[in-house]
């Protein structure tokens, strides 16, 4: 079997690795000069940076599995921290290294600045959600879900709404409550304590998966066609033509809007949300109180400490921040950090269509299409999750497994 994988993001990488590991003749097409898609390294002003901040969780088991498969050791490349939510207004919730669910229970009961009544009410609500398997009767917004549960206090403002924005890249007032519940199910609701851990990268995104995966694929006989944009595919009953080559089958692992151009029946089009990363370089000794720090000012959301005084402030979803010019945005976010000194350097990286808008009830396709020789992959096809690296990786592996089950002959 000979398979084309179109798109070299994390979904396409995962699909190509799965196919090549099974001995399939695999060709990976990527329009950019490097692998990684929307989670890659870029060079700016002579510095190697990430095009966005992508925080991994211990629950991202398949992402960690693919990393190990291609020789990228998570224990060496990632710092593992028990979950903490720390902000600049005095709120702090920290999970201990205790077995689940005791770790979550103690984290809630020991949360700083929250009344005992609210803590007990929240713990009772979580137990009820858990008893129902984290399934909602009907999808609604996260705001509506929290309202109906009576979650209106400090934990809502300082925990649930910020976690929703970080995970779904969309404010609670527009976000799908069922998708947020799925994230809670696989993290705070997991029976494995390690699933709640934050995994913060010690290296840039390219070194986490795209670069070692590219080397692994080349070493295992796959063909990498970087800088090759696929403008169309032609499928028949016994083959698929991609960029003038003939294949037994193809996996379209691009963003949804590009997949729709290649295959018009690939599903409904989605609205999208922007993400900006504002890099601020301070003196090398500066550290945040916790490597992932919540900002509570007018614009700030989350700040990631990348080491050596480099801070990456993350802004997700449509908001007032979009109207600010880069210099003004960097200045505003700097003022919302716990540091008096001025940044030595700053850079703003904006992704206007960073993720699909994860709203209630949107119809999302799976991996199958009207042509059994063409599969879809991408975070938008993994309906359990929002736009995450784990959803992308799972979707790529699923699409590869679907083709491996068919074992088409090579094209004539």
- Average pLDDT (384-397) is 97
| Residues 6 or more apart in contact with residue 178 via CB below 8 angstroms | 135, 136, 139, 360
Percent composition of the chain: helix, strand, coil (DSSP 3-state, to 5)? 35, 25, 45
In 3D space, the residue among 6, 64, 56 whose CA is nearest the CA of residue 31 turns out to be 6
Instruction: State pLDDT tens for residues 138-186.
Output: 999 999 999 999 999 999 999 999 999 999 999 999 999 999 999 999 9
Q: At 273, is the pLDDT very low, low, confident or very high (cuts 50, 70, 90)?
A: very high
Q: Which residues contact 381 (CB under 8 A, 6 or more apart)?
A: 267, 364, 365, 366, 367, 395, 399
Q: What Rg, from alpha-carbon coordinates, does the chain have? A: 22
Distances (CA, A) of 93 to 130, 155, 159, 379: 20, 9, 8, 30
Residue-level pLDDT at 229: 95
Q: What is the pLDDT of residues 326-339, one digit of tens each?
A: 999 999 999 999 99
Structural tokens at position 225:
């066609």
Residue 346 near residue 281 (C-beta atoms within 8 A): yes
Question: Taking residues 356-384, what's their average pLDDT?
Answer: 95
Tell me whether residue 296 is exposed, middle or buried, using C-beta atoms within 10 angstroms of its C-beta: 0 to 12, 13 to 18, 19 or more.
Answer: middle
Place of tokens 């934990």: 155
Query: Taking the mean position of all CA atoms in its chain, how far away is CA 139?
Result: 21
Interval 298-313: pLDDT, tens: 999 999 999 999 999 9
At 266 the pLDDT is 76
412 pLDDT more than 80? no
Average the pLDDT over 28-33 and give the result. 96
* The token pair that represents 44 in the structure block: 């700016």
pLDDT at 88 > cutoff 90: no
Is 90 exceeded by the pLDDT of residue 44? no
Compute the mean pLDDT over every residue in the chain, rounded to the nearest whole number.
Answer: 95
Whether 268 has a pLDDT exceeding 80, the answer reads no
Question: Is-contact 233 359, C-beta < 8 A?
Answer: no
From 106, 114, 189, select the one nearest 157 (Cα to Cα).
114
Mean pLDDT of 193-201: 96
What was the pLDDT predicted at 407?
A: 85
More confident residue, 266 or 361: 361
Is pLDDT above 90 for 264? no
């Amino acid at each position: 079997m000979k398979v084309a994988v179109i798109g070299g993001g994390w979904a396409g990488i995962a699909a190509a690795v799965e196919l090549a590991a099974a001995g399939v003749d695999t060709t990976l097409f990527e329009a950019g000069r490097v692998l990684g898609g929307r989670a890659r390294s870029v060079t700016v002003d002579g510095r190697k940076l990430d095009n966005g901040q992508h925080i991994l969780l211990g629950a991202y088991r398949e992402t960690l599995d693919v990393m190990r498969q291609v020789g990228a050791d998570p224990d060496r490349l990632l710092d593992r921290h028990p979950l903490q939510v720390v902000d600049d207004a005095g709120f702090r919730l920290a999970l201990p290294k205790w077995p689940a669910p005791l770790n979550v229970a103690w984290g809630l009961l020991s949360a700083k600045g929250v009344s005992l009544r609210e803590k007990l009410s929240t713990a009772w609500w979580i137990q009820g959600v858990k008893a129902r398997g984290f399934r909602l009767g009907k999808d609604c917004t996260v705001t509506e879900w929290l309202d109906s549960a009576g979650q209106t206090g400090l934990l809502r403002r300082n925990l649930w709404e910020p976690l929703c924005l970080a995970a779904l890249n969309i404010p609670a007032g527009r976000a799908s409550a069922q998708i947020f519940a799925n994230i809670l199910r696989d993290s705070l609701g997991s029976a494995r304590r390690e699933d709640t851990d934050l995994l913060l990268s010690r290296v840039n995104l390219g070194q986490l998966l795209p670069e070692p995966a590219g080397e692994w694929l080349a070493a295992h006989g796959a063909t990498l066609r970087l800088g090759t944009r696929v403008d169309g595919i032609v499928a028949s009953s016994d083959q698929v033509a991609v960029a003038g080559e003939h294949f037994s089958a193809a996996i379209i692992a691009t963003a949804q809007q590009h997949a729709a151009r290649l295959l018009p029946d690939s599903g409904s089009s989605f609205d999208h949300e922007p993400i900006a990363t504002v890099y601020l370089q301070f003196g090398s000794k500066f550290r945040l109180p916790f490597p992932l720090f919540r900002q509570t000012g007018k614009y700030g959301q989350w700040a990631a400490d990348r080491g050596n005084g480099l801070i990456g402030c993350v802004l997700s979803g449509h908001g007032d921040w979009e109207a600010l010019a880069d210099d003004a945005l960097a200045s505003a976010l700097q003022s919302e950090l716990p540091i008096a000194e001025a940044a030595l350097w700053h850079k703003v990286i904006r992704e206007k269509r960073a993720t699909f808008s994860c709203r209630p009830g949107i119809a999302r396709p799976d991996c199958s299409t009207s042509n059994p020789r063409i599969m879809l992959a991408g975070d938008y096809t993994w309906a359990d999750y929002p736009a995450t690296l784990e959803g992308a990786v799972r979707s790529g592996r699923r699409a590869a497994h679907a083709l491996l089950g068919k074992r088409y002959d090579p094209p004539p």
